[in-house]
Amino acid sequence: MLVLHALSDFIDCDFAISGSSPSYWYEGRCLQSGNHLKLPRTSISEAIAHGLMQQLAKNDCYSREGKMYGILLVELANGEQRVLKAFSGLLNGCSVVEGWVPPILGRDEVALEEARTLAQLDAIKQELFTLKQLTERQQYEILFDEFEQQLQAMSDRHRHCKHQRQEKRQQICNTLTPETLTIALEQLDEESRQQGIERRQLKRQQNAVLQPLQELIAATDARISELKQQRKALSRQLQAQMHATYSLTNFSGRSLSLQQLMPGGSPTGTGDCCAPKLLHYAATHNLKPLAMAEFWWGASSVNQDKIQGKFYGACAERCQPLIGFLLSGLRPNPPAPFPRREGGVRSPSPIRGGVWGEVTLSIIYEDEWLIAVNKPAGLLSMPGRYSDRQDSVLSRLRHLLPDEMTLASVHRLDQETSGILLLARDRQTHRQISQQFQQRQVYKVYEAILSGAVTVERGKIELPLWGDPENRPYQKVDWQHGKPSLTHFQVIAREQDYTRVEFTPLTGRTHQLRVHAADARGLGVTILGDRLYGCCAVTTRLHLHARELRFEHPQSEKTLHLQTITPF
């Protein structure tokens, strides 16, 4: 089966290779050597992917279901370059398709069981769909509303009658003789009793009509719950079988099953994504990977977080934990020199980037008073106390811009947190912006992936935080010594057992979002990759990103709203 394709199948032979830096890195740490390994998404790999998109657009069968597609640019032993292409999961129900990288070995061993389980899951899906369309639900709601309206109208009428009876009692008590008064009061009491009987009759009628519908709906809901449990059990059973048989091979020739690589369990579909399929195939066929690109094609995903034709990085749940192992055996990328900038002339608001070691630093906003950078995870905001902790955003910017010795950070991000970091270029601006932070006038939005399910949709967390001096930098909730901290949160997506959350902190305590997520009195679920607060998942980074920053510019007095794309 032809799997290796010529570059000319996707791009013109005279394609100009851009000198720009990679737009994304597939990266992970080798479990054996500890080396940090990276594979870039470059302009040429993106161009090849666009060529594949054009091919997909010509056939409607590729648009029926949305899924991830990927290409891997590889080098043969003779130095020639070829292209591999892959799709995630199944393509129109097939795992093996001419011209595409085949699934990782292991699928065939459970193919029969998989087909049987998928048929059962499909039958459950169809029954669930039918049960959820139960017409009696709508009938119950209509009848319930009608009875409630009747009861309300009756209550209003009875209330009016009661008020009239009270007025009448006051009148007749002063005008009628005792004998006549007794008769009149009994008539009023009887009217009250009759209205009570009328209300009870309507309630009995309501129960007689609605109770059978309630029982049917309750039985249907019980069946739906039972089917969902069956579906969950079947999925877990199939997943366990597949993970025990799926075996991944890296470039050092070592093979491990998914069960060995992710002993704590992994989401359904792990091993079927594009990146593992492409890298496994290259490793087992002596192909050197040069660059890779993955994109979404077809209808938008269920959560509307995937758009056709847009590039995406390795997914945090299924792929990222495997990247380090899959790239093992490749030589680690050598550190690139940090580019120096000549002269002190600066244009307003450029987007620049510099590389130091293995981490890219990008300036996303700049004027004569402020600089905002998109800090990568793993880099300090400011230099530390000791010589081995001098590499930071501040020191890099001072190295890049030699005339910026007055540059100072107005706030900090944890070393493991990525996102917007704001710096001031003079003392007055630093003082003005710092004051806005202190007075809680700066609007901050963070995005995170939590390593479990969150049941509530939105809310706020108020917990006093205190740093134990005997266990730095760990923070904990302490009602006696802690400082007040307040965070608003909102769930923005769910997938499998993971939850994507948007945090809006109103205070800026150390590790505030990490503790508010992990503590049982907060969300009770750690941020993915937060080992300090108990996350055991295998991942290469803390999944916390400072996505937005909004504040008043101290000079123009206009609102400045900075935003970045969440990298996971």
Q: What is the pLDDT of residue 355?
A: 37
The predicted pLDDT at position 470 comes to 73
Find the mean pLDDT for residues 165-194.
Answer: 88
Nearest CA among 408, 412, 431 for reference residue 420: 412
Give the whole-angstrom CA distance, residue 392 versus residue 430.
Answer: 18
With a cut of 60, say whether residue 412 has pLDDT above it.
yes
* Same domain, yes or no: 478 and 565: yes
User: Does 211 fall in a domain?
Assistant: yes
347 or 327, higher pLDDT:
327
Query: Do 159 and 233 belong together in one domain?
Result: yes
Per DSSP, 380 falls in state B
Q: Is 337 part of any domain?
A: no
By percentage, how much of the chain surpasses pLDDT 90?
42
> In the structure, what pLDDT confidence band is assigned to residue 383 with cuts at 50, 70 and 90?
confident
Is 316 domain-assigned?
yes
**Is it the case that residue 109 has pLDDT exceeding 70?**
no
Q: Which range is least confidently modeled, 38-52, 94-108, 493-507, 534-548?
A: 94-108
Same domain, 387 and 534: no
432 and 452 share a domain? no
Measure the CA–CA gap between 154 and 201, rounded to whole angstroms. Answer: 12
- Go through 387-417 and write b for each residue having 16 or more CB atoms within 10 A of its CB, e for each that does not: eeeebbbbebbbbbbeebeebbbbbebbbbb
User: Last residue of some domain: 184, 213, 238?
Assistant: 238
Q: Which residue has the higher pLDDT, 50 or 104?
A: 50
Q: Are residues 430 and 460 in the same domain?
A: no
Task: List the single range of 200-214, 258-272, 330-344, 437-451 with lowest mean pLDDT.
Answer: 330-344
Say which range, 109-113, 323-327, 548-552, has the weakest mean pLDDT: 109-113
**Residue among 414, 426, 468, 478 flagged as catalytic:** 414
Task: Say if 333 falls within a structural domain.
Answer: no
Average pLDDT taken over every residue of the chain: 83
Q: Is 283 among the domain residues?
A: yes
pLDDT above 70 (res 18): no
| pLDDT at residue 192 tops 80 | yes
Q: What is the mean pLDDT of residues 94-113?
A: 76
Tokens of 512: 């505030």
539 to 38, 158, 306, 449, 531: CA distances (angstroms): 14, 67, 22, 12, 10
Same-domain status, 176 and 257: no
Could you give the CA distance from residue 272 to residue 96 in angstroms, rounded to a whole number?
12
Number of domains in the chain: 4
Give the angle subtended at the CA of 39 by the CAs of 371 and 5, to the nearest 5°. 130
Please determine, for residue 298, whether its predicted confidence score (pLDDT) is greater than 90. no
User: Does some domain include residue 116?
Assistant: no
- Residue 75 Cα distances to 84, 103, 183, angstroms: 11, 21, 108
Predicted pLDDT of residue 73: 95
Residue 118 binned pLDDT confidence (cut-offs 50, 70, 90): confident
* Distance from C-alpha of 170 to C-alpha of 506, rounded to nearest angstrom: 60
| Same domain for 146 and 67 | no
d(CA 273, CA 287): 19
Is-contact 258 276, C-beta < 8 A? no
Token pair in block for residue 111: 């193919």
530 is catalytic: no
Predicted local confidence at residue 61, as pLDDT: 78
The pLDDT value given to residue 71: 97
- Position with higher pLDDT, 333 vs 470: 470
What is the mean pLDDT of the segment spanning 284-311?
84
**Structural tokens at position 514:** 């990490």
Its pTM stands at 0.43
| Residue 266 binned pLDDT confidence (cut-offs 50, 70, 90) | low
CA atoms in the 13 A half-sphere facing the CB of 417 = 21
End-to-end CA, the chain: 35
Q: pLDDT category, 32, cuts 50, 70, 90?
A: low
Predicted local distance difference test score (pLDDT) of residue 561: 92
pLDDT-based confidence at residue 301 (cuts at 50, 70, 90) = low
Distance CA 248, CA 255 (A): 5
Is the predicted pLDDT of residue 196 greater than 70, yes or no?
yes
What would the two tokens of residue 105 be?
């070995």
What is residue 174's predicted lDDT score, i.e. its pLDDT?
80
Same domain, 446 and 568: yes
- Considering the domain architecture, whether residues 374 and 357 belong to the same structural domain is answered as yes
Q: CA–CA separation, 378 vs 358, rounded Å?
A: 10
Per-residue pLDDT reduced to its tens digit, 359-381: 456 888 888 899 999 998 888 88
Q: Which domain holds residue 43?
A: 7-107+246-327
Is-contact 325 31, C-beta < 8 A?
yes
Let me know whether 394 and 448 are in one domain.
Answer: no
CATH (domain of 397): 3.30.2350.10
**Rounded CA separation 130/128 (Å):** 5
When pLDDT is cut at 50, 70 and 90, the band that residue 78 belongs to is confident
Residue that wins the pLDDT comparison between 563 and 388: 563
User: Exposed, middle or buried, 10 (CB in 10 Å: 0-12/13-18/19+)?
Assistant: buried
Domain boundary among 189, 219, 238: 238
Burial 248-262 (b: 16+ CB within 10 A, else e): bbbbeeeebbbbebb
Q: Strand 443-450 and strand 544-552: pairing?
A: antiparallel
Residue 333 in this model has a pLDDT that exceeds 50 = no
Asked whether residue 456 is domain-assigned, the answer is yes
Residues 429 and 516: their CA atoms lie apart, in Å, by 31
* Res. 269: pLDDT tops 80: no
Lowest mean pLDDT among 140-144, 498-502, 539-543: 539-543
* 349 has pLDDT over 80: no
Q: Say whether pLDDT at 428 is over 80.
A: yes
**Overall average pLDDT of the 233-251 stretch:** 75
Tell me, yes or no, whether 291 and 372 share the same domain: no
Reference 515, options 532, 491, 529; nearest CA is 532
The whole-number average pLDDT for the span 241-255 is 78
* For residue 13, pLDDT beyond 90: no
- Top-confidence residue, 332 or 523: 523
**Measuring CA to CA, which residue among 513, 393, 382, 392 is closest to residue 444?**
513
Distance in angstroms (rounded) separating the CA atoms of residues 127 and 490: 32
Q: What is the mean pLDDT of residues 152-177?
A: 89
Domain end: 238, 263, 284, which one? 238
Residue 489 and residue 556 share a domain:
yes
pLDDT at 64: 76
Task: Flag whether pLDDT at 267 surpasses 70.
Answer: no
DSSP string, 225-240: HHHHHHHHHHHHHHHH
The verdict on residue 119 lying in a domain is no
